[in-house]
A and B are shown apart, each in its own frame.
Chain A
Amino acid sequence: MRSVKQTAPYTATQNACNLCAPLGAALVFKGIANALPLLHGSQGCSTYIRRYMISHFKEPLDIACSNFGEDTAIFGGGANLKLALDNIRRQYHPELIGIATTCLSETIGDDVPMFIQAYKAAFQNACRDEQLPALVHVATPSYQGTHMEGFHGAVRALIQTLAGREAAEGPPAMNLFPGMVSPADLRHLKEIVIDFGLEATVVPDYSDTLNGPLWTEYQRIPEGGTPVNALRRAGAGVASLECGLLLAAEKETAGTWLATQFDVPLHRQGLPIGISQSDRLFDTLAAVSGKAIPQKYTDQRGRLLDALVDGHKHLSGVRVAIFGEEDLVAGLAAFCGELGIFPVLCATGGGRGRFADTVRKVMPDYCRDQMQILEDVDFVTIEKKLAEMDGEVDLLIGHSKGYTMSRRLGKPLIRVGFPVHDRVDGSRLLHLGYRGAQQLFDRIANTLIQVKQERNEIGYTYF
């Protein structure tokens, strides 16, 4: 984790390139069916995180809170948590409440697992006619790691708390841990898995909860998400697939838990961005399902390669800087390598100390040793580095917070990942699979053509 490794000399963070851990956890809990996230701490945390995530997803996004006051900070948050759980149950009847801590409750040392245990005991004594929602706790002090640690921590907590081998109905399912991707990505992954004839438990699955239609009927908690029952069956899964190059080296993840506790075979790979990582995804799914890759996808792959050949002239030798979540940046860098684009700078606010090595491993020889790879950095550092490379960058790929940098440098920004709050399609951006690669390729190529066109005095329209 980054926290223990703070590099000397200390510099203050200006314009951070990462968010805090409870945000990642709240996002995961939003991807569970009929669930409600609860932040154990000051109400500001839930309000800030709600308002921030909503600016990206543009969807209802309720996060409850245990509303610490000054006395709670002194005497502990046990009573507040109990009251919060009572009220949430009465108003929302959720099947699951995901409890993530904050720096406040962590600093005072609240023993949340003990609070939960006491709550369960009291509940069993009192109301037997009602089902207690599953209570899942994850420790997410925001002074440790980034939102990605919160995200993966919450996925692990869900599995560790709930997974078993309870009577599996229907065909055996595979567990899919896609990482922090967009609702459009999740939808595409589910489609692929179904096309292989597989059932999949996707954790988390906020494809509907955070990108749903208008409601014709009232919904207290938006429909969709990973069913809690599916989580309980995860131990009986035929295989697990975990995406993310950095995540793949973590020792304690949802996938490793299922592997060690329930012998569920674990497949690990990068986010399926670009050709080779998508190929791996399809290979794995073919192996797990025992079925050939459906024609639909070989066609998609074929069309992608055809487009790459046609568009290579626009992309070859183009220099980009990529920033954002570590696994996303690693995936995008690998894809750029496949396109003949040179990622001269890759940066993340996280990185877990393994970012540079991980990225280098997936890069082709021609750029491997000439890249700037920065981890645990903020935008001021990124921009300084880019300024040093004066004029050597053609394009930026990253999230909305890079906009001011793109404006100052006069280089276009291709928006990917999270947060995207200055475009309307944050939830609909597709990054994964051949289709995701196709869309990324199209957006990159079109942006480059547009720049060429605008700079051209004659105004050619044939490219």
Chain B
Amino acid sequence: MAKATSKLATESIKLENHDPEKIKARLLAKYPPKVARKRAKQIVVNKVDRDGKVPVISSNVRTVPGLIGQRGCCYAGCKGVVLGPTRDIINITHGPIGCGYYSWLTRRNQTDPDKAANGQASDGHNFMTYCFSTDMQDEEIIFGGEKKLKQAIQEAYDNFKPKAIAVFSTCPVGLIGDDVHAVCREMKAKLGINVFGFSCEGYKGVSQSAGHHIANNGIFTHVVGLDDTITAGKYRINLLGEYNIGGDAFEIERLFERCGITLVSSYSGNSSIDAFANSHTADLNLIMCHRSINYVAEMMETKYGVPWIKVNFIGAAATAKSLRKIAQYFDEEELTAQVEAVIADELPAVTAACEEIRPRTVGKRAMLFVGGSRAHHYQELFGELGIKTLSAGYEFGHRDDYEGRRVLPDIKVDADSRNIEELEIQPDPERFHPRIDEAKRKTLEAEGLGFSDYEGMMPEMPDGSMVIDDLSQYETDELIRIFKPDLFCAGIKEKYAVQKHGIPLKQLHSYDYGGPYAGFKGAINFYKEIDRMVNSRVWEYMQAPWEASPELSATYAWE
């Protein structure tokens, strides 16, 4: 099957005779009034108007202390998510040991050090298996840590001779006033390599989302545009917001290669710093995870004239659709024909796999609480399997990720967001050139290719489904008790609590050490994985025979 499942919005979903408003009341019952009022705005029953408008959901607001949530910190978003997957930058954590240790290759980003950017010779650098830290101690907290940071940078350079070193500040750094940027400038001049710092102290912003923004700003300021070489290859694109968890990027790259599309740079799965430096020469930016990377795309368009479109390579239909979007943009017969040929060649295997598995998954019910885009994207794959999404929400999304970018002008900037720098970008006097003219853009838009647009998750979800932002562990437990879904999707922190209830949890951060799930081959992997999880026999044994029928245990006792 693998039929397009977008525009689910025409359907509505009955929460199995549960009144969603009552459920909401139950979730809020234990909170003090002020907290309940705040959370009430983050728990929304979906309703899609004819023009695609959805209810307002409060998001990107601070988590209430004491509500055990899923969110990480600014440092995690900056170092862990955005910069972590780049293999040839040495990332030094400036702070006590914990932060560096916990972000030490824990995100399962894969990389291929033998493959260099743009056909250049590979240097084989891969520092992702290392964890560099200044391991701050008492003295640095008291007397400052700049001296040790310099030494750490020098040492990393001496030992590895990397092309670039990045420094990430943790909480105490901002408080004791270390000027990491000055240190980086000094070491950059001294060593002659790119050295740059990020003020991504953990207390900034309300979630890892702040760190994504800071990382975007830093890469754009210090790296993008350093190499103007226009390398060989037709249909030159960047893929943004794809982090190569479980090899997703490898599968997408495979499809690009088959279609004859040239990937200049990825942000940042399987990426290298050279590719970032050159990425402004691409002709189109594709955005997967809108939340974590849209800033780079916006800035690149303003400064260099590279337009961006939203894509989704999660789900067979979505993959085909995204490939067609690229062909539509370049509008050349050769590419269109090749894209169609690839889809025609790849899709039958996916359809066959889906048809075989679907009878065992159809009608099951899922909940997805993850990320800033995965909770949306994975609804595609579940739709293909005939699995309904009862409820979904993001861990660190903003209103535009829920309701679509149309609400951007309405978003109130609160103090937490205001503290994250918004760079003032101007068109580059020499290098700005719009890749397509205004008339062409209008034509393509009329044909349905949305530029700089993301419609958000809610317009594609059925009426009546519950959308919950920044779900807490307490609320997770409540939802599970009420609905007993067949499958829950979140991360490792939620996994074992949910599974204790006899409900399988699919990790959509690390993929439970499986994957890839992107593209066509990924879709097949995912179908099989979900089949395995929801139909595992282990759940049948949860109740021992003597628990199932007490008279049996009486019999045993009698005997």
Binding site for B on A (CB under 8 A): 2-4, 6, 10-16, 18-20, 22-23, 38, 41-52, 54-55, 58-73, 80-81, 83-88, 90-92, 102-104, 107-108, 141-144, 146, 212, 214-216, 218-220, 222, 401, 404
Closest 3 CB pairs of A and B: A44-B73, A20-B98, A87-B66
In the complex, the number of residue pairs spanning A and B with C-beta atoms less than 8 Å apart equals 236
- Determine if A47 and B76 form an interchain contact, defined as CB atoms under 8 angstroms apart: yes
Q: Which of A59, A108, A143 contacts B496 (CB 8 A)?
A: A59
A216 to B542 alpha-carbon distance, docked (Å): 8
- Determine if B68 and A10 form an interchain contact, defined as CB atoms under 8 angstroms apart: no
Q: Mask for B102-128, Cβ within 8 A of A = 1, else 0?
A: 111010000000000000000000000
User: How far in angstroms is the closest Cβ of chain B from A294?
Assistant: 29
A66 to B497 alpha-carbon distance, docked (Å): 22
Which chain A residue has the least Cβ–Cβ distance from B35? A87
A92 to B474 alpha-carbon distance, docked (Å): 8
- Determine if A214 and B98 form an interchain contact, defined as CB atoms under 8 angstroms apart: no
A375 to B263 alpha-carbon distance, docked (Å): 47
Q: Which of B134-155 contact A (CB under 8 A)?
A: 134-141, 148, 151-152, 155
- Determine if A48 and B66 form an interchain contact, defined as CB atoms under 8 angstroms apart: no
- Determine if A41 and B135 form an interchain contact, defined as CB atoms under 8 angstroms apart: no
User: How far in angstroms is the closest Cβ of chain A from B119?
Assistant: 30
| B72 at the A interface (CB under 8 A) | yes
Which chain B residue has the least Cβ–Cβ distance from A144? B138
Which residues of chain A have C-beta atoms less than 8 A from B206's C-beta?
69
- Determine if A44 and B99 form an interchain contact, defined as CB atoms under 8 angstroms apart: yes
User: How far in angstroms is the closest Cβ of chain A from B481?
Assistant: 6
A70-B203, A83-B64 given; A60·B135 CB < 8 A: no
15 CB contacts below 8 A, A to B, read A10-B148, A12-B156, A19-B101, A19-B102, A20-B98, A43-B72, A54-B496, A67-B66, A68-B171, A71-B415, A103-B96, A143-B137, A214-B502, A218-B501, A220-B477
A90 to B32 alpha-carbon distance, docked (Å): 8
| B75 at the A interface (CB under 8 A) | yes
A109 to B103 alpha-carbon distance, docked (Å): 26
- Determine if B97 and A16 form an interchain contact, defined as CB atoms under 8 angstroms apart: yes
A192 to B179 alpha-carbon distance, docked (Å): 56
A4 to B139 alpha-carbon distance, docked (Å): 8
- Determine if B496 and A51 form an interchain contact, defined as CB atoms under 8 angstroms apart: no
- Determine if B481 and A218 form an interchain contact, defined as CB atoms under 8 angstroms apart: yes
A48-B103, A107-B141, A143-B172 given; A84·B98 CB < 8 A: no
User: How far in angstroms is the closest Cβ of chain B from A290?
Assistant: 37
A84 to B133 alpha-carbon distance, docked (Å): 31
Binding site for A on B (CB under 8 A): 30-32, 35, 62-76, 92, 95-104, 106, 129-141, 148, 151-152, 155-156, 170-172, 174-176, 201-207, 415-416, 419, 473-474, 477, 481, 491-493, 495-497, 499-502, 542-543, 547
Which residues of chain A have C-beta atoms less than 8 A from B92's C-beta?
12
User: How far in angstroms is the closest Cβ of chain B from A349?
Assistant: 8
A88 to B140 alpha-carbon distance, docked (Å): 34
Q: Which of A18, A51, A84, A91 contacts B106 (CB 8 A)?
A: A51
A71 to B414 alpha-carbon distance, docked (Å): 13
Which chain A residue has the least Cβ–Cβ distance from B131? A15
- Determine if A86 and B66 form an interchain contact, defined as CB atoms under 8 angstroms apart: yes
The listed residue with most B CB atoms (<10 A of its CB), out of A3, A102, A103, is A103
Q: Which of A55, A70, A401 contacts B204 (CB 8 A)?
A: A70
Q: Which of B65, B106, B130, B171 contacts A67 (CB 8 A)?
A: B65
A142 to B173 alpha-carbon distance, docked (Å): 13
Which residues of chain A have C-beta atoms less than 8 A from B66's C-beta?
38, 64-67, 83-88, 91
- Determine if A54 and B32 form an interchain contact, defined as CB atoms under 8 angstroms apart: no
Which chain B residue has the least Cβ–Cβ distance from A22? B98
- Determine if B95 and A103 form an interchain contact, defined as CB atoms under 8 angstroms apart: yes
User: How far in angstroms is the closest Cβ of chain A from B229?
Assistant: 33
- Determine if B134 and A47 form an interchain contact, defined as CB atoms under 8 angstroms apart: no
A68 to B66 alpha-carbon distance, docked (Å): 11
Which residues of chain A have C-beta atoms less than 8 A from B75's C-beta?
44
Apart from A4-B138, A54-B495, A216-B543, list 16 A-B contacts with CB within 8 A. A13-B131, A19-B98, A20-B98, A41-B202, A44-B74, A44-B99, A58-B496, A62-B68, A62-B473, A65-B68, A70-B203, A73-B203, A84-B65, A87-B35, A141-B96, A142-B98
Which residues of chain B have C-beta atoms less than 8 A from A67's C-beta?
62-66
Q: Which of A2, A215, A404 contacts B129 (CB 8 A)?
A: A404
A92 to B31 alpha-carbon distance, docked (Å): 11
User: How far in angstroms is the closest Cβ of chain A from B113?
Assistant: 15
Which chain B residue has the least Cβ–Cβ distance from A79? B65
Which chain B residue has the least Cβ–Cβ distance from A42? B202
Which chain B residue has the least Cβ–Cβ distance from A66? B65
User: How far in angstroms is the closest Cβ of chain B from A15?
Assistant: 5
